[in-house]
Amino acid sequence: MTETDAGTEPRDTQLEETLLKESIVSATGITSENLQIGIRGDPSLRETTFDRQRYCSVVDNFYDDLEPHLEELLLNRSTYRLYLGFNNGEVRTCSIFDPLREEIHSAERLIEDEYLRRHFPEVSYDDKIALIRELHEMFEHSELYRHLPVYWRNIVTRRNKRWVPMETEHIQAIMTTLNKLRDVQQYYLRNVTICIVQDIVRMQFNCDGTQIINADNYKQFLRDNLI
């Protein structure tokens, strides 16, 4: 903000604070004061939780073979966000090389080495992070970016400067424990989304509840609630 904008600074600062507080997960992610967020779903689904027993899905049958490939997508391939649906075998992915689009794959196909190689370009984790930083910088220098309200430019600029990706050991810890969450009686895991850009894990359970967890807090979440 320039000196000529000084008269609007208090208002812009207040808008920034309001915007960041209003979102469940804000533009800057989950704050250090709130590392875990629980969202209740449809009350009728919560009331019938014990009537919906978990059946052995397609993914349950081969998760041990699928897990290293999912890990590979986030660690050594172009994927930066991944969704896995345990009940239907749906896998949604977003690539750093085509960041505005989402692809949908069958979990059964992703256990095939050749399928994975065809669809997901190989790129090291460090190079992937470097490209994400380049994309952030490119957006900040675009002409359209200058038309954003001042408070939004402030938020995005600060976020990009402070941004750090999900740590690789967190990715490994999450992937190797999803089957344990799937085995929880009555409250079993239905689907999970992992995003290395936002450093969060989003999980939905049979009770129709959603948990959004900072990756740093994932092991503590397991200790407190499940394992």
Number of structural domains, the chain? 1
Would you state the pLDDT for residue 183? 83
On whether residue 182 sits in a domain, the answer given is: yes
Would you state the pLDDT for residue 32? 47
Would you state the pLDDT for residue 26? 52
On whether residue 168 sits in a domain, the answer given is: yes
On whether residue 163 sits in a domain, the answer given is: yes
On whether residue 195 sits in a domain, the answer given is: yes
DSSP, residue by residue, the chain: --GGGGGGHHHHHHHHHHHHHHSSSBTTBS-TT--EEEE---HHHHHTGGGSPPP--HHHHHHHHHHHHHHHHHHHBSEEEEEEETTT-EEEEEETTEEEEEEEEEHHHHT-HHHHHHHS-B--HHHHHHHHHHHHHHHHTSTGGGGS-HHHHHHHHHHHHH--PPPHHHHHHHHTTHHHHHTSSSS-EEEEEEETTTTEEEEEETTS-EEEEEGGGHHHHHHHHT-
Would you state the pLDDT for residue 3? 40
Domain region containing 218: 34-225
On whether residue 86 sits in a domain, the answer given is: yes
Would you state the pLDDT for residue 29? 54
On whether residue 14 sits in a domain, the answer given is: no
pTM above 0.75, yes or no: yes
Would you state the pLDDT for residue 20? 63
On whether residue 5 sits in a domain, the answer given is: no
Would you state the pLDDT for residue 86? 92
Residuewise pLDDT in 10s, the chain (227 residues): 444 444 444 457 777 677 666 665 555 455 545 555 555 545 555 455 545 566 678 899 999 999 999 999 999 999 999 999 998 899 999 999 999 999 999 999 999 999 999 999 999 999 999 999 999 999 889 988 888 888 888 888 888 888 889 999 999 999 999 988 888 777 788 899 999 998 888 988 876 678 888 888 888 878 876 65
On whether residue 92 sits in a domain, the answer given is: yes
